[in-house]
């Protein structure tokens, strides 16, 4: 039954004339019955003229949606002519007139409905007067007309409600689509930051080590071996992180993909390994912790690691520094982080400097309700100061 209702609704929206034609045929069959059923003795015989005029009062229903007032006038006029000029079989109900009046109530504006309603009352009163003139017929005829009008207004309210619900559903669908697109854009930006941090750091460290390798081979072969080990270790670490990230993307993007192994993202616990790889490039890296160390929320923990990684990458690539201090402070409602070098300072932050890296650091800090400030250090060089916020529920988790 549900499929039939959906089919009727679809036909009504796409081809309403089909429903109007079917309704007209149905009314024509109803008004034909008095002409084909046996009549009581003494009544005048039916004539083709009477049947033709009756059919003429039904045919306008095909155009009831396009011209509702004109159709009602035509139906009432045909009925009046039939009653005055011919003496044919009567009808149990004025089917065509009731449907035309229902359509006016459904589609027309208030002023039109008021004018048509007044005209209909006059016509019905005259019809009853010329027919029987009884209060019983007047009451029954008025009740039928009022019922048709009320049904028309109820149907109008139903259509308006359905349209509002459909519009609301369309708005929700558009909002969900926009939200999904925004979420996808945010995810693409996050992946881009992760890829940038991993590759930029690894390639920078490998370049520094490779450039120092030939000099170390001539002057200190043991340092050359350490440099090559650092290049290999950096490359393996970058490949492992990229493989993990791409594995997650394959798992999320392909329904039949093999699930990627779930490994924790790097955090504060593996910072010593990151700093050691940078030291192998000849940069003196000092790590300090302030406050009572505690486990950080996973997202904040990874953000701290990525910010340190990006800041050290900028130092290696642009600062020409000899020493860098990484300081991590644990606070009651968050964590602070500073990376200070003794290099060239803000002059290195030109178009070819670490501008994109600093943008990524600020975006990561903002994602946790924090701030990131970059500029000249207290004793020269360059300093990146970041503060990340942890909610009260996350503190100590």
pLDDT in tens, 53-79: 888 888 888 888 888 889 888 888 887
- Per-residue model confidence (pLDDT) at position 351: 37
In a domain, 231, yes or no: no
Among 133, 160, 191, the domain boundary falls at 133
Which tokens hold the place of 55? 């059919």
Place of tokens 């009260």: 392
Look at residue 326 and tell me whether its pLDDT is greater than 90.
yes
What is the spatial distance between Cα 381 and Cα 319, in angstroms, rounded to a whole number? 8
Q: Looking at residue 296, which CATH number applies to its domain?
A: 3.30.565.10
In a domain, 202, yes or no: no
Helix (H) or strand (E) holding 373: strand 371-376
In a domain, 277, yes or no: no
The one-character DSSP state at 347 is: G
How do residues 179-199 score in pLDDT, each as one tens digit?
888 887 877 777 777 777 677
Among 70, 100, 133, the domain boundary falls at 133
In a domain, 230, yes or no: no
145-172 average pLDDT score: 89
How many distinct structural domains can be found in the chain? 2
| Strand locations in 261-353 (E) | 284-290, 323-331, 334-341
40-52 average pLDDT score: 74
In a domain, 311, yes or no: yes
Among 97, 117, 133, the domain boundary falls at 133
- Per-residue model confidence (pLDDT) at position 373: 92
Place of tokens 């010329």: 130
Q: Among residues 79, 179, 189, which one has the least CA distance to residue 128?
A: 79
Look at residue 311 and tell me whether its pLDDT is greater than 60.
yes
pLDDT band of residue 3 (cuts 50, 70, 90) is very low
Look at residue 397 and tell me whether its pLDDT is greater than 50.
no
Least confident interval from 83-97, 201-215, 248-262: 248-262
Range of the domain at 107: 2-133
In a domain, 297, yes or no: yes
Q: Specify the pTM.
A: 0.49
335-353 average pLDDT score: 70
Look at residue 28 and tell me whether its pLDDT is greater than 80.
yes
Residue 100 contacts by C-beta under 8 Å, 6 or more apart in sequence?
A: 60, 61, 64, 68, 71, 72, 75, 76
In a domain, 12, yes or no: yes
Element counts in the chain: helices (H) and strands (E): 11, 5
In a domain, 87, yes or no: yes
């Amino acid at each position: 039954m549900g499929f039939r209702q959906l089919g009727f609704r679809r036909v009504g929206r796409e081809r309403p004339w089909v429903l109007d034609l079917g309704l007209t045929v149905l009314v024509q069959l109803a008004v034909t019955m008095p002409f084909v059923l046996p009549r009581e003795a003494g009544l005048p015989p039916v004539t083709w003229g009477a049947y033709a005029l009756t059919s003429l009062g039904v045919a306008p229903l095909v155009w009831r949606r396009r011209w509702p007032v004109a159709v009602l006038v035509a139906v009432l006029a045909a009925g009046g002519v039939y009653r005055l000029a011919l003496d044919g079989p009567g009808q149990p109900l004025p089917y065509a007139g009731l449907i035309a009046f229902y359509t006016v109530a459904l589609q027309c504006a208030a002023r039109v409905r008021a004018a048509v309603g007044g005209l209909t009352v006059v016509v019905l009163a005259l019809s009853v007067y010329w027919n029987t003139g009884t209060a019983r017929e007047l009451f029954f005829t008025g009740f039928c007309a009022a019922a048709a009008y009320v049904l028309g207004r109820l149907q109008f309210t139903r259509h308006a409600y359905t349209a509002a619900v459909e519009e609301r559903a369309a708005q929700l669908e558009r909002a969900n689509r926009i939200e999904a697109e925004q979420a996808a854009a945010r995810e693409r930006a996050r992946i881009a930051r992760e890829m940038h941090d991993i590759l930029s750091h690894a390639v920078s460290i490998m370049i520094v080590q490779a450039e120092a390798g030939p000099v170390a081979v001539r002057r200190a072969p043991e340092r050359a071996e350490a440099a090559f080990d650092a290049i290999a270790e950096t490359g393996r670490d970058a490949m492992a992180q990229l493989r993990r990230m791409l594995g997650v993307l394959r798992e999320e993007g392909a329904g039949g993909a093999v699930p990627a192994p779930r490994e924790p993202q790097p955090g504060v616990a593996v910072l010593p390994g990151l700093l050691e790889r940078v030291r192998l490039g000849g940069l003196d890296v000092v790590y300090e912790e302030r406050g009572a160390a505690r486990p950080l929320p996973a997202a904040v923990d990874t953000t701290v690691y990525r910010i340190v990684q990006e800041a050290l990458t900028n130092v290696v690539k642009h600062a020409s520094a000899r020493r860098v201090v990484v300081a991590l402070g644990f606070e009651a409602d968050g964590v602070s982080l500073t990376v200070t070098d003794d290099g060239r300072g803000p002059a290195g932050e030109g178009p070819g400097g670490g501008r994109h890296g600093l943008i990524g650091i600020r975006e990561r800090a903002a994602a946790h309700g924090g701030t990131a400030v970059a500029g000249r250090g207290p004793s020269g060089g360059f300093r990146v100061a970041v503060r990340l916020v942890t909610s009260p529920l996350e503190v100590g988790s």
